[in-house]
Amino acid sequence: MSNYRTERDTMGEMQVPAEALYGASTARAIENFPVAHEPVPSEVIYAFGTLKAACAQANQALGKLSEKHANAIIAACEEVASGKFDAHFPVDIYQTGSGTSTNTNANEVIANLANQRLGFGVGAKGKEGAVHPNDHVNMGQSSNDTFPAAMHIAASATIRRDLIPALERLHQDLATKAADWDSIVKIGRTHLMDATPIRVGQVFAGYAAQAQYSVMRASRAIKRLEENMPIGGTAVGTGINTHPQFAAKVCSVLSQKLGGTFAEAANHPEAQAAKDTFVEAHGELKTIAVSISKIANDIRLLGSGPRCGLFELSLPATQPGSSIMPGKVNPVIAESAMQVVCRVLGNDATITTAALGGIGSLFELNVAMPVMIDAFLETVKLLANVTNVMVNKLLTGLVVNEERCRELIDQSLMMVTSLAPKIGYEKAAAFAKEAFESGKTIRQLCLERNILPEDELHEALDPWKMTEPRA
């Protein structure tokens, strides 16, 4: 046991690895939760570092914490937020549902780092003048408000840093293609069946709008997370043992530090007992995933073939598609995106279930928060990464097969739609049926039957004009 030290928490003695910066309570949690063998995401730990620093700054400003202790705590928190001590945060994701073990882990590590700065050794929490993990690092706080506050910080930070730039790239690429390809007309499809013509530029402008709206949705998610911060509610949302100005000061510090617009929750019991805001924010991400599924799936179907499918688009060849069929190339990037969407929908189900009354949300506290933030951060990571992959590997190098687009327009029976105002719906439908049965195009059949003067017919069957509103 020479590589261990003995520490105590309120339940008794624990053996702690000699080099560990955490203490007895964290060691107890490590023993209690050998479940996923995956620690809480590092983004949450960095958020805790930032949050605890803001709390120390607020407590000092309110006269609750000495300058010496505050400075030591803040410096330690900044080191934690930098990722320097990730190895000292080993508590499993599937721990106590309030995240108490992670909050305790943060308190112990920060206290030991602060005490080292003050000239004390690790485990000095009981010595006179030393920083105590509960009395000083956790001053005016509870796991019940710090863990959800850290969730909001981590979620908003990753959306801002990773997801929004990726979505903006996607929007720019699709908008560029919409402009570049606006002179190309293709056949439209509804219900998977032929419809009237549409410009390729119009199709991609629709995708670009989805990407633009996705940026807006991600921004809305950030706003909701930042404007409903639970910090200051302590145990059950009443703010017991907390200065009345504490939460507002903490949120002000966070806004200055992170560049957000953090604000104290309008109603602390709601912010702690319910996780509706978190469900709402992930709902925005779920909608983004749905948009990506539409874009990726449309592109892979429009690229199907090359000889026996639609093949209006040529997708970049990224890798061999079959171990048995030589020369086969598959839409693998789009397939990757579709799998991400499946996972995001699963994460949304996890987060929604974890927030349900009677499951996660019970009386004054939600007790399924660690799994919620783990799922949320995975969603952000996957959406950001696959969006960048789509731009790099699917959209870059995507080509419109103009000749194939013209060929399919000529063959489409729905070209008859523009004749309906001139010859009537019933007659136009009969022409479509006859053209299909005879194998002729609508244009050929109309010319043979002399339905309209030739000039008027050609104008009516002009694919470009069909893509513009007209009476």
Active site residues: 191, 322
- Alpha helices (runs of H) in 200-275, residue ranges in sequence order: 200-226, 246-258, 268-273
Structure tokens at 232: 């200051």
CA atoms of 260 and 50, how far apart (whole Å): 13
Taking a C-beta distance cutoff of 8 angstroms, is the pair 333, 389 a contact? yes
Reported as half-sphere exposure (CB side, CA atoms, 13 A), residue 256 has a value of: 10
40, 34 contact by CB (below 8 A):
no
SS3 90: coil
Cβ-contact 230, 271 below 8 angstroms: yes
Tokens of 260: 């957000």
Q: In 63-156, at which residue ranges do the beta strands (DSSP E only) sit?
A: none
Please state the φ and ψ torsions of residue 12, each to the nearest 5 degrees: 125, -165
HEC assignment per residue over 260-323: CCCCECCCHHHHHHCCHHHHHHHHHHHHHHHHHHHHHHHHHHHCCCCCCCCCCEECCCCCCCCC
Q: Please, are residues 198 and 298 in contact by the beta-carbon 8 Å criterion?
A: no
The dihedrals phi and psi of 273, each to the nearest 5 degrees, come to: -80, -30
Tell me the C-alpha distance between 172 and 195, whole Å.
28
Could you list the beta-strand ranges (E) of 118-251.
Answer: 185-190, 193-199
Say how far apart CA 72 and CA 12 lie, in whole Å. 28
What would the two tokens of residue 9 be? Answer: 């928490």
Burial tier of 262 (Cβ tally within 10 Å: 0-12, 13-18, 19+): buried
- The dihedrals phi and psi of 267, each to the nearest 5 degrees, come to -140, 110
User: Measuring CA to CA, how many Å separate 24 from each of 8, 13, 48, 147, 279?
Assistant: 6, 7, 19, 20, 34
Q: How far apart are alpha carbons 430 and 199 in whole angstroms?
A: 27
Distance between CA atoms of residues 464 and 407, nearest Å = 14
